[in-house]
């Protein structure tokens, strides 16, 4: 029931906003088309401004992944993960999720196929994918758009969030599905 309502909201939200916002503008006596054009002019510049930031981040991540450094990292941290009771087969996903959206989706799909879509591991992987965002991509796009170079505590705070989300995903799935 709740799922249907949320689904309907998601489907209707954009057309309703696209019509509703100018409607309120018209009622308040605004030249909506002129104002729209004035704001929209910025769009191209913003998208172009992101390019250097995104190229920088994605190239570094692309090189790191292609070198096989990821496997070395996960192997090195494996004993610690096992000691902490974190499923070792899911650990690469925790690292990849923060770095690459398409890469982590491919890995999650792979885990789901290998362990089965109704298995505990498969559901944990799905929860981990759905419960987080591609941190470094979001960082590059948002800070890139406004030209912020010193990110201060953004990366540590975001990574703490990612780690907590992954731990909660494993814990909640174990509690619900095991």
Partner 1 sequence: MLNYIWFGLMAIALIVAAFTGTVDAVTKGAVDSAKVAVEISLGLVGIMTLWLGIMRVAEKAGLIAMLGRLLRPFSRVLFPEIPPDHPAIGAMILNVAANMLGLSNAATPLGIKAMEELQTLNEEKETASDSMVTFMVLNTAGIQFIPATIIGVLAAAGAKNPTAIISTTLAATLCGAIAAVITAKVLQRFFPYRGNAVAEVAE
Range 74-103, binding partner 1 (CB under 8 A): none
CB of 114 to partner 1, least distance (A): 10
CB of 83 to partner 1, least distance (A): 22
- The answer to the question of residue 107 lying near partner 1 (CB under 8 A) is no
Query: For residue 130, how many C-alpha atoms fall within 13 Å in the half-sphere facing its CB?
Result: 10
Helices 154-177 & 91-99, crossing angle to 10 degrees? 140
- The answer to the question of residue 138 lying near partner 1 (CB under 8 A) is yes
Query: For residue 52, how many C-alpha atoms fall within 13 Å in the half-sphere facing its CB?
Result: 9
Among 86, 93, 94, 129, binds partner 1 (CB under 8 A): 129
Among 78, 81, 89, 161, binds partner 1 (CB under 8 A): 161
- The answer to the question of residue 120 lying near partner 1 (CB under 8 A) is no
Distances (CA, A) of 72 to 34, 65, 161: 56, 11, 24
Structure tokens at 132: 């987080």
* Short-list 99, 95, 98, 121, CA closest to 110: 121
Among 1, 76, 117, 178, binds partner 1 (CB under 8 A): 117
Number of neighbours of residue 108 by Cβ within 10 angstroms = 21
Question: Nearest 5 degrees, angle CA 39-CA 42-CA 47?
Answer: 140
- The answer to the question of residue 22 lying near partner 1 (CB under 8 A) is yes
How far is Cα 147 from Cα 49, in angstroms, rounded to an integer? Answer: 8
- The answer to the question of residue 66 lying near partner 1 (CB under 8 A) is yes
- The answer to the question of residue 15 lying near partner 1 (CB under 8 A) is no
The residues in 24-53 that bind partner 1, with binding defined as CB under 8 A, are: 24-25, 28, 30, 32, 35-40, 42-44, 46-48, 50-51
Query: Which of these ranges, 74-82, 87-95, 108-116, lies near partner 1 under the rule CB under 8 A?
Result: 108-116
Nearer to partner 1, 77 or 142 (CB): 142
Question: Nearest 5 degrees, angle CA 57-CA 60-CA 64?
Answer: 135
Among 1, 15, 84, 149, binds partner 1 (CB under 8 A): 149
């Amino acid at each position: 029931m709740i799922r249907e309502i949320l689904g309907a909201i998601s489907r209707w939200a954009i057309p309703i906003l696209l019509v509703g916002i100018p409607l309120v503008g018209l009622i308040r006596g605004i030249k909506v088309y002129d104002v729209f054009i004035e704001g929209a002019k910025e769009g191209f510049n913003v998208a172009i401004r992101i390019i250097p930031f995104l190229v920088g981040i994605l190239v570094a991540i692309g090189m790191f992944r292609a070198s096989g450094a990821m496997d070395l990292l996960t192997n090195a941290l494996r004993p610690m993960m096992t000691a902490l009771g974190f499923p070792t087969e899911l650990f690469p996903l925790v690292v990849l999720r923060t770095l690459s959206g398409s890469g982590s989706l491919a890995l999650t799909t792979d885990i789901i196929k290998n362990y089965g879509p109704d298995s505990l591991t498969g559901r944990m992987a799905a929860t981990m994918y759905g419960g987080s965002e591609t941190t470094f991509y979001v960082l590059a796009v948002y800070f890139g758009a406004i030209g912020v170079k010193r990110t201060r505590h953004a990366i540590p705070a975001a990574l703490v969030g990612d780690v907590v989300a992954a731990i909660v995903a494993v814990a909640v799935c174990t509690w619900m599905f095991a």
